[in-house]
């Protein structure tokens, strides 16, 4: 088996960071561009603006009139999308490798020349409101959004990425365009390319297309620090259905924090290994502690926990679907008992070794796909730096059982949690036995 080619990092004079990794297993390549802007950079009254800007980048430039970009990629047999998250906005194109130049031309074009046509802005307003309303149909979305707003008081992580309905009704074309101009610059962008290309000519071509774009003004750093949490918080959302859901969130360290890798091991032991594919799937968590405590005991029909790798401290969250006929209070008690156990006793050496082997396997699977690889290279550079990804397995292997217990005690205390219940209002006599 050939080892993966090394990652190469280049910075252009205008500040654009370029990460490349050659992968020659298949004649395909994936081009990603990341902007350091997400709901983290938004203020009250214009939440959701970063996501809306992302939509507008598909609505045309003078060289690619509306609709032409997606057709041009599809014509070449390609795959494309855009995604907005709390810390970033990103776009990618995966194409047969001899056609990847189209991605470079399209992305360099829309970094500088997106049109934001007023009529297109209005049509997209209702599309995004429809996207929000589709989310609102999902009870777990409603619960997650409410809980996130309870966890953070000062930090913009309290706002959902899609934004509040009234903001989506009020945001103007001028606000959108100004947001675009401030954040879509080489200085705050990262390009990540993985696949079947030669690094030297790829970097030269990126420089040719992006090098002439002015670097842009630097965005003042976000200085908000979330104040300490001084006690448990509770949120209840009521809505249709007969299924109850539970979510518990703790404040967690950022990706670059020295505690982060120990938290990843804790996450894996409690909730199982996470797949690294963008398309999901590929893992089960039936031997995890939470599954044994909540699902094998027939309290919940599914359980999960999730630690996000983020720029600022975010959350470590636990979620469960309450089994038909069970109550959220029983599920909550069982979940908290497992969390207490992680604080009270060190994990076993066998659990430690298992979590590392599981993660190693997921890294191997992720090297099958240029799209997954491009994602991880760019993502890592945005939330930490690409070296964080490259040394991830080694840093994980260095974690000890004592480290895991220490971080559990540091972050999972009683006063540090926020607990959310989705209480269904149909057939409440059966589902809700308090």
Partner 1 sequence: MATRTNGSVLAQIHVEQSIFRLSLPGADDTLRRVLPNGITVLARENWSAPSVVIEGYLQVGVLDEPSDLSGTASFTASMLSRGTRSRSFAEISELVESIGASIGFGADRYTTGYSAKCLSEDLDLVLDVLADELRAPVFLGEHVDRVRGFRMTAIAERENDTRQMAGLAFRELLYGDHPLGRDVLGSRQSNKAINRDDLVSFYERFYSPSGMVIAVVGALPADEVVARVERGFGDWTGERPSRPGLPEMPRLESLRERRVPMPEKTQADIVLGWPAMRRLASDFEAARLGNTVLGVFGMMGRLGQNVREKQGMAYYAYSRLRADKDPGTWAAVAGVAPANVDRAVEAMLAEVRRLRDQPVPEDELADSKQFLTGSIPLQLETNDGVAGALIDMEWQGLGLDYLRRYADMIMALSAADVQAAAREYLDPETYVLAVASP
In contact, 270 and 290? CB cutoff 8 Å: yes
Name the residue nearer to partner 1 (CB basis): 77 or 212: 77
Report the phi/psi class of residue 298: left, alpha or beta, with left for phi > 0 and alpha for psi in -120 to 50.
left
Nearer to partner 1, 155 or 274 (CB): 274
Which long-range contacts link 281-286 to residues 24+ away (Cβ below 8 Å)? 282/362, 282/365, 283/362
Comparing CB distances to partner 1, the nearer of 6 and 77 is 77
Q: Is 28 or 203 the residue whose CB approaches partner 1 more closely? A: 28
Measured from the CB atom, the residue of 99 and 155 that comes closer to partner 1 is 99
How near is the Cβ of 121 to partner 1 at its closest, in Å? 10
* DSSP letter for each residue of 177-225: HHHHHHH-SGGGEEEEEEESS-HHHHHHHHHHHHTTS---PPPPPP---
Backbone angles phi, psi at 349, to 5 degrees: -65, -35
Residue 130 or 256: the one with the smaller Cβ distance to partner 1 is 130
Nearer to partner 1, 199 or 367 (CB): 367
Of 379, 409, 244, 367, the residue nearest 309 (C-alpha): 379
Closest CB 284 distance from partner 1, rounded Å: 6
CA 36 vs CA 172, 179, 209: distances in Å: 22, 12, 20
CA–CA gap between residue 297 and residue 189 (Å, rounded): 48
- Residue closer to partner 1 by CB (options 246, 322) is 322
Using alpha carbons, select from 362, 373, 306 the residue that is nearest to residue 147: 306
- Please name which of 340, 362, 360 lies closest in space to residue 352, comparing C-alpha atoms: 360
Report the distance separating Cα 194 and Cα 372, nearest Å.
9
Query: Least separation, in Å, of the C-beta of 271 and partner 1?
Result: 12
**What string of DSSP letters covers 84-111?**
E-SS-EEEEEEEEGGGTHHHHHHHHHHH
Here the tokens at position 131 are 């996207």
Q: Are 205 and 177 in contact (CB under 8 A)?
A: no
Rounded to a whole number of angstroms, the minimum distance from the CB of residue 376 to partner 1 is 14
Nearer to partner 1, 80 or 260 (CB): 80
Shorter beta-carbon distance to partner 1: residue 47 or 268: 268
CB of 324 to partner 1, least distance (A): 4
Q: What angle do CA 45, 48, 50 make, to 5 degrees?
A: 115
Is 376 buried (19+), middle (13-18) or exposed (0-12) by CB count in 10 A?
Answer: buried
Give me the least distance between CB of 29 and partner 1, in Å please. Answer: 10
State the CB neighbour count (10 A cutoff) for residue 134. 11
To partner 1, the closest distance from the beta carbon of 131 in angstroms equals 4
383 phi/psi in degrees, rounded to 5: -90, -20
For residue 396 the two structure tokens come to 């994980």
Find the shortest distance in angstroms from Cβ 25 to partner 1.
3
Residue 242 CB, nearest distance to partner 1 (Å)?
5
List the structure tokens of 277: 């594919």
CB of 71 to partner 1, least distance (A): 4
Minimum Å gap between C-beta 229 and partner 1 is 31
124 versus 304: smaller Cβ distance to partner 1: 124
Partners of 340 in the beta sheet? none
């Amino acid at each position: 088996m050939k080892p993966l080619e090394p990652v190469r990092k280049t910075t252009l004079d205008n500040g654009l960071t370029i990460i490349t990794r050659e992968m020659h297993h298949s004649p395909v390549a994936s081009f990603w561009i990341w902007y350091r802007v997400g709901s983290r950079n938004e203020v009250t009254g214009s939440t959701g603006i970063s996501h809306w800007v992302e939509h507008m980048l598909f609505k045309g430039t003078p060289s690619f009139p509306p609709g032409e970009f997606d057709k041009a990629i599809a014509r070449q047999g390609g795959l494309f999308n855009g995604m907005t998250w709390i810390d970033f906005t990103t776009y990618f194109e995966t194409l047969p490798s001899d056609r990847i130049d189209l991605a470079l031309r399209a992305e360099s074009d829309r970094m500088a020349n997106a049109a934001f046509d007023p009529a297109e802005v209005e049509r997209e307003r209702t599309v995004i409101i429809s996207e929000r309303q589709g989310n609102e149909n999902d009870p777990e979305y409603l619960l997650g959004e409410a809980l996130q707003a309870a966890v953070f008081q000062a930090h913009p992580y309290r706002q959902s990425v899609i934004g509040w309905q009234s903001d989506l009704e009020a945001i103007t074309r001028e606000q959108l365009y100004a947001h675009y101009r401030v954040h879509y610059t080489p200085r705050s962008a990262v390009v990540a390319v993985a696949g079947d290309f030669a690094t030297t000519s790829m970097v030269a071509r990126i420089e040719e297309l992006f090098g002439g774009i002015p670097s842009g003004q630097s965005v003042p750093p976000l200085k908000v620090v979330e104040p300490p949490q001084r006690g448990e918080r509770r949120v209840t959302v009521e809505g249709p259905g007969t299924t109850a859901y539970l979510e518990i969130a703790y404040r967690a360290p950022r990706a670059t924090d020295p505690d982060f890798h120990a938290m990843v091991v804790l996450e894996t032991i409690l909730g199982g290994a996470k797949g690294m594919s963008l398309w999901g799937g590929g893992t089960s968590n039936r031997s995890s502690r939470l599954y044994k405590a909540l699902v094998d005991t027939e309290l919940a029909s599914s359980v999960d926990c999730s630690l996000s790798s983020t720029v600022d401290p975010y959350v470590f969250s636990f979620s469960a679907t309450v089994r038909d006929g069970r109550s959220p209070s029983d599920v909550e008690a069982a979940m908290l008992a497992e969390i207490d156990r992680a604080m009270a006793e060190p994990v076993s050496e066998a659990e430690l070794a298992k979590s590392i082997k599981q993660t190693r396997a997921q890294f191997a699977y992720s090297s099958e796909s240029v799209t997954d690889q491009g994602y991880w290279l760019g993502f890592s550079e945005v939330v930490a730096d690409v070296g964080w990804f490259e040394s991830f397995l080694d840093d994980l292997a260095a974690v000890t059982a004592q480290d895991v217990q220490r971080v559990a005690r540091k972050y999972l205390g009683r006063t540090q949690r926020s607990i959310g219940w989705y209480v269904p209002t149909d057939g409440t006599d059966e589902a809700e036995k308090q």
